[in-house]
Every structure is written in structure tokens, then in C-alpha cells.
A = this chain, B = another copy of it.
């Protein structure tokens, strides 16, 4: 059986660290007109999604100061926290990144929000950008 063609890498979501979901939600939802998408909590953060085509803007408000987003806010203030790309072959992509000398936060994929397989790359080897990879 021939292999299925690879699907292109796309933006899955942009994660934005915020002090208050309630304060910024009207900007994205009402002024930019992005539909709100219910999302659960993850990694100690409350998440509100906003649809932008087939990608999401994810607003991340920490529930605890010692959560990853809580620490980010304390250090850098509110702003863009990470970009998540969906790729066709997560394991193969991670192996290629490791071979090329990139630093992985997750050596093997773990389960993220909604049971999806995800892995983070360290921003030190991606020009300062925290990158999450997930699978189609």
C-alpha cells in the first residue's frame, strides 16, 4: 500500500498568557469577531479558545502562581507564550529536531489538553520561541 501523502504543517494555536481572561476576551470575541471555543483547564491554567479559521488563539490565565503560565507572567508580563504547530508525523519530526541539535523539553510526546499528543521544544534552540508540536 502506498504511503499517504504528508499533510502540511499548520498553526494549531497561539498561546497567550493573560492576567485576566475576562478583561481581554471582549477584544478578541466582540471587536475582532472571533467565535469563543470552550476549552478545559491544562497545566494549571484556565484556557479560553477563540477560533481564527482552523487555528485558535488560546488565552491562558494561571490558576496558581507556580504554574508554567504563572511563572511566565511573573517574569515577563502578559504576552505571547508559545506557538503550536500541527505536523503530520510528530515522532519523526521530534527525531529530526533532535538529530539537528535542537533541545527538546519533551523527549517523547505526552498527552496535552483534550488527549492530544504534544511535545515542546526549548526556545533556546528555536530563536527564542517556545514551540509546541502536535499531530493531525
By a beta-carbon cutoff of 8 Å, the part of chain A in contact with chain B is: 6, 8-11, 14, 16-19, 23-24, 26-27, 31-35, 51-55, 57, 77-80, 83, 85, 87-88, 93, 96-97, 100, 102, 123, 126-129
With both chains docked as a complex, state the minimum distance between the C-beta of A71 and any C-beta of chain B, in angstroms.
15
In the complex, A8 Cα to B18 Cα: how many Å? Answer: 24
A79 and B129 contacting across the interface, CB-CB below 8 Å: yes
A55 and B11 contacting across the interface, CB-CB below 8 Å: yes
In the complex, A102 Cα to B31 Cα: how many Å? Answer: 10
User: A23 is contacted by which of B54, B80, B127 (Cβ under 8 Å)?
Assistant: B127
Chain copies in complex? 2
**Knowing A27-B102, A79-B128 touch, does A32 contact B53 (C-beta < 8 A)?**
no
In this complex, what residue of B is CB-closest to A56?
Answer: B11
In the complex, A93 Cα to B54 Cα: how many Å? Answer: 21
User: A18 is contacted by which of B32, B79, B127 (Cβ under 8 Å)?
Assistant: B127
Residues of B within 8 A of A83 (CB): 14, 80
23 contacts across the A-B interface (CB closer than 8 A): A8-B33, A8-B35, A8-B53, A9-B32, A9-B34, A9-B52, A10-B53, A11-B14, A11-B52, A11-B53, A16-B127, A16-B129, A17-B128, A23-B127, A24-B126, A31-B100, A32-B85, A32-B93, A53-B53, A77-B128, A78-B128, A79-B128, A80-B129
